[in-house]
Every structure is written in C-alpha cells, then in structure tokens.
Amino acid sequence: MKRKFVTGFCLFAAVVLFGMAACSQKLAVRFYTEVSEKVEEPVRLALIADLHSTFYGEGQEELVRILQEQKPDAVLLAGDIADDKVPHDGTKVLLEAIGTSYPCFYVTGNHEYWSGEEEAIKEMIASYGITVLEGESCLLDTGAQTIRICGVDDPDGYGQRHQYDPEAMAEWENQLMRCRLSLEEGQYSVLITHRPELTAYYTHMPEEGLPGFDLITAGHAHGGQVRIPGIINGLLAPNQGWFPQYAGGRYELGDAVMIVSRGLCRNLLPRVFNRPELVFVDVVPK
C-alpha cells in the first residue's frame, strides 16, 4: 500500500512539474548570428515584438536589465508594443526607459490599429525619442559602418482586419516599395515588419532591378502558441492558421534571412513550450 502511494505521489509530482515547465512564462533570451560581407564590425540588434503592454517587473526592470547587459546598437520594435484592450502603462514605462538609451525604431502591429487610436499611439511612441517608420528608412551609424533600417506599417492600417484586400494591399505595397528604393548595393539593410507570413512581398525579385533586404524582422505569430519541441514549431497563429510555417525562429528567404520573435505577451491563452522571448541578432563580418 505504501509503495503504491509513493508511486502515485511521484507520478502526480512529475505531471505537475512537467505542466509547470511546459507552461512556463519565464522570459527567454534568444540569440541569432548572421554573417555578412556588408559589415566591417559586429552589429547587435535587439528585437522586441508583441509586448502588448505586458509588465516585466516594476519599471520593466527585467527587460531593461537584459538590454543594458547585452548593449545593442539599436532596438527594433516590431509592432503590437501597445494593445487595443490593455492600458498603455507597460508600453510607456518601457519606452521611457529605452527611448533615449538606444536608437529605437518602431512599426505598427494590428492591435495598435484595432485600438482605433493608432495615430495617438504613434505620437506617444515618437514622444519618447523613438523613430516611427511608415514606409521610410533611416541610417544607423554603428561607428565602423552604416546600416539601413526600413519599416512598414501593419497591413491592418489599410482596412482589412482578418484577410488581405488587394486594393488595400496595393497601398501597403507602396510603403514597401519606398523602402526598397532606399536600398543601396553593398549596404546592409534591415526591414522591420509585424507580419511574418507575407514573405512573397519581402523576398528579392531581381527583375525589379533593386537590391533586396538582408534581414527581415517580424512578430505577430506569438510562437504558434503551442509547441512540441522537435516535432511542432507552432500549433496556431493569426493569419497563418494551423501549423504555421513562420511561428518563430530563423527562416531563409532566398538571399535574405527572416527572424520571427515569439513575442513578449503574457496573457490568458496558454503558451506551451513557448516562453516569451527577447531576441538579439548579431550581424558579424564574413
């Protein structure tokens, strides 16, 4: 009888511990390294996506501390930093901490548009010294070289909430084309976008006669919500459906690489083997 009790207790404890590990919301710090002939010295980029105004300690202490430790050359804010249902307090606290500490570049996500106050959100973000990109590009001077940072609004800004409307997408494509026209041969380029699934638009098309993006950064998929490591990278993602192709991680798109963050949102939906993550991309000389 005693043996059965001990065995049952051990099994129960194992199930509980497994469940706690599987659904852990502990912040992960993820690193990627990209090699390029277009840089002379390493460049470190921090990628923050899908914060949804979530707090990571008082004063966003956890996120701020990691950024201070890793010393990025720039912070890329890939949409849904604010939310349509959650107050903007967590967003404001983070932006106040990082806006003047690093060159920061922001693009909208769908939830900022769903809030109906996207222009006010953009103004609020810009007030912290952060560059808001709407089809424009900027030069980031890292000392040894300059790299071009481009960004586009989320397509939801053009009126289609759950599916892509060709007429509206034509307006969004104009933003993307303005970014393409700013690219220069031999200069490393980054595109910040919220959506990972629009790869057909991001990839280089030689017939255009324009250089392509070297690095594309995105979020939106929330890591597919549920993962089975080594088997399923993501179960369900917005605008991709079941078993999304671009749930989170590194993807090669011809000559470009796309890094998709699993996002920082902690909400009521379970994240199974899918911890929220803060991403760093190191671009190093070949």
Where do the domains of the chain lie, and which CATH numbers do they carry? 27-285 (3.60.21.10)
- What does the pLDDT look like over 80-103, one tens digit per residue? 999 999 999 999 999 999 999 999
Residue with tokens 């929330």: 222
Plot region of 2 (φ>0 → left; ψ -120 to 50 → alpha; else → beta):
alpha
Q: What is the pLDDT of residue 210?
A: 83
Q: Has residue 8 got a pLDDT over 70?
A: no
Q: How far is CA 41 from the centre of its chain?
A: 24
pLDDT digits (tens, 9 = 90+) for 167-217: 778 888 999 999 999 999 999 999 999 999 999 999 876 667 788 999 999
Who contacts 69 (Cβ-Cβ below 8 Å, separation ≥6)?
none
pLDDT in tens, 128-144: 999 999 999 999 999 98
pLDDT surpassing 60 at residue 78: yes
pLDDT of residue 4: 47
pTM of the model: 0.90
